[in-house]
């Protein structure tokens, strides 16, 4: 059993974050961040060409992090590979000792740095979870028996701030039925909205790790409101950032306050630092979360 699975199953409050594999082969900066976070976070997501911008395979980086004593969570998207390639990658990940997964559909390639790339989307998040479940029963999606069975701890994503919460909750239920054992959420800025979501989601009896995206400026906050569906940064928070003399300190203050408010409602937080990974220990100390 992975450390993440053991922690969530025992109801320990977990901290996850995410690291982006490099566009290239130099992993020095990523390893430095991972070493800094060791002891502070339970596991680190490794993104799969985040926002459709090509980067190193997260499977390779996940294995290298395991060698360094850092537990990875492999993000797997249906964007670039068909079901043959996805199942092959999952078996390869299992052979390398990678057990934690987060399954998602992925961003449209037209929004990335290779807009001419052909999207695949043979499997979406739900059918990808079904593929993971099928492999764990010893069979591929074609019904063919495997020689050796992988073991995974599979998660998915959910958006507590979705405009149509009923549909979002139905998709969450579909993902649970497909095999999702935990969820990481879109960024949370309104604890009241998150509480409404959690009250509705508790029926699924599955661990929820709430997303906390650090706001670096009021401009960034407004951009999220205007361009990212399901994220709503309250005007009061934007006003705090606009009036701050030290925006970094204010950003950490806001994030730590949100963590304290939502901590009783969920099983952990997923910190999206966007280059501020070195500030995560300071943030967790401010949120009164010990290493």
| pLDDT at res. 291 | 83
Work out the percent of the chain whose per-residue pLDDT is above 90: 98
Is residue 230 over pLDDT 90? no
Of 85, 40, 82, nearest in space to 59 by CA = 85
Annotation: CATH topology of 3-215+263-276: TIM Barrel (3.20.20)
Model pLDDT for residues 239-288, shown as the tens digit of each residue = 999 999 999 999 999 999 999 999 999 999 999 999 999 999 999 999 99
Element housing 271 (H / E): strand 268-272
User: What CA–CA distance (Å, rounded) separates 143 from 138?
Assistant: 9
Contacts of 5 (CB under 8 A, 6+ apart): 99, 100, 153, 181
Report phi then psi at 246, rounded to 5.
Answer: -120, 95
């Amino acid at each position: 059993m992975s450390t993440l699975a053991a922690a969530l199953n025992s109801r320990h409050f977990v901290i996850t974050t995410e690291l982006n594999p490099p566009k290239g082969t130099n992993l020095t900066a990523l390893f430095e961040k991972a070493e800094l976070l060791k002891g502070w976070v339970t596991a680190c997501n490794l993104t799969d060409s985040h926002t459709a911008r090509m980067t190193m395979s997260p499977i390779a980086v996940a294995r290298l992090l395991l060698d360094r004593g850092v537990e990875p969570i492999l993000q797997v998207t249906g964007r670039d590979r068909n079901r043959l390639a996805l199942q092959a990658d999952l078996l390869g990940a299992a052979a390398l000792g990678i057990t934690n997964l987060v399954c998602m559909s992925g961003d449209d390639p037209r929004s990335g740095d290779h807009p001419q790339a052909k999207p695949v989307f043979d499997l979406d998040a739900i059918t990808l979870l079904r593929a993971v479940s099928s492999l764990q029963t010893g069979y591929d999606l074609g019904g063919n028996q495997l020689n050796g069975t992988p073991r995974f701890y599979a998660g998915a994503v959910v958006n507590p701030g979705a405009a149509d919460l009923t549909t979002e909750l139905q998709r969450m239920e579909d993902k649970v039925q497909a095999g999702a054992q935990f969820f990481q959420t879109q960024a949370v800025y309104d604890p009241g909205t998150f509480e409404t979501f959690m009250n509705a989601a508790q029926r699924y009896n599955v661990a929820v790790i709430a997303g906390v995206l650090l706001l670096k400026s009021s401009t960034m906050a407004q951009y999220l409101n205007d361009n990212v569906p399901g994220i709503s940064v309250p005007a009061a928070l934007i006003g705090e950032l606009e009036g701050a003399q030290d925006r970094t300190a204010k950003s950490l203050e806001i994030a730590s306050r949100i963590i304290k408010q939502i901590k009783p409602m969920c099983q952990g937080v997923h910190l999206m630092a966007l280059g501020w990974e070195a500030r995560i220990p300071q943030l967790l100390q401010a949120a009164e979360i010990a290493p």
